[in-house]
Amino acid sequence: MNWTDERVETLKKLWAEGLSASQIAAQLGGVSRNAVIGKVHRLKLSSRGRATSQRTRQKKPPQPGTTTTRRPRNTRPMTATVGATALQAQFEEEPVARTYLQPVGNVVVPISRKLELTQLTEMTCKWPNGDPLSDDFSFCGNEAGESGPYCGYHSRLAYQPASERRRSR
DNA sequence: CCCTGATTCGC
DNA sequence: GCGAATCAGG
């Protein structure tokens, strides 16, 4: 990925707007959040309010320089769809935003057992599908486990915003 | 566990 | 210059 002028501009704008590095990376497409952070640093526009306190960083001496061993990660394909709109690039592309109906082309919710309210147990994911007032309303119904009222997939969707909210002090 | 930004360092 | 790995914190 090349940091074109447009992309850098978008980066700066979004960063100034207070979006997190991962969100910016997701919006730019084709780059990781680390790339965004690294770029931000190079642009010398790091500090933005106080996201993370600058703890006394002083650890990182041991580097087994035996070989140039670095990056066990595989290359990421990633379909980059960069619109690069110069105006209001507000994103919010929530994966499961509209659970109203589930088109086959949508790769969001893994499965859906479409359970009725009366079918729910302590073991079933209680993530609602669709409008509770609608006739098509149902619950996810997958194995919820003990971690919470949702299945693993929906737990993330439900709890990620919470963690984000937490930092908003 | 998830996330956040910060830093280092091989390329 | 770039970004993955790693760190440190919430």
Nucleotide nearest to A31 (CA to C1'): C3
> Which nucleotides of strand B come closer than 7 angstroms to any CB of the protein?
2-11
Assess whether A1 (CB) lies less than 7 A from strand C: yes
Does residue A85 sit within a domain? no
The CA distances from residue A95 to A23, A75, A108, in Å, are: 13, 23, 6
Domain count, chain A: 2
How far, in Å, is the CA of A60 from the C1' of nucleotide C7?
8
Does residue A77 sit within a domain? no
Does residue A121 sit within a domain? yes
Assess whether A50 (CB) lies less than 7 A from strand C: no
Give the span between the Cα atoms of A160 and A146, in whole angstroms: 18
Residue A164's pLDDT band (cuts 50, 70, 90): very low
Does residue A34 sit within a domain? yes
Assess whether A70 (CB) lies less than 7 A from strand C: yes
Does residue A58 sit within a domain? no
- What are the tens digits of pLDDT across the range A21-46? 887 877 777 788 999 999 999 988 77
Q: What is the pLDDT of residue A129?
A: 66
pTM summary value: 0.51
Assess whether A12 (CB) lies less than 7 A from strand C: no
Does residue A78 sit within a domain? no
Does residue A131 sit within a domain? yes
Give the span between the Cα atoms of A62 and A91, in whole angstroms: 40
Nucleotide nearest to A15 (CA to C1'): B5
DSSP states of A123-161:
TB---EES-TTSTT-EE--SB--SS-SS-HHHHHHHHHH
φ and ψ at residue A41, rounded to 5 degrees? -65, -45
Does residue A50 sit within a domain? no
For A9, the domain range is: 5-42
- What are the tens digits of pLDDT across the range A88-115? 444 444 444 334 343 333 334 444 445 5
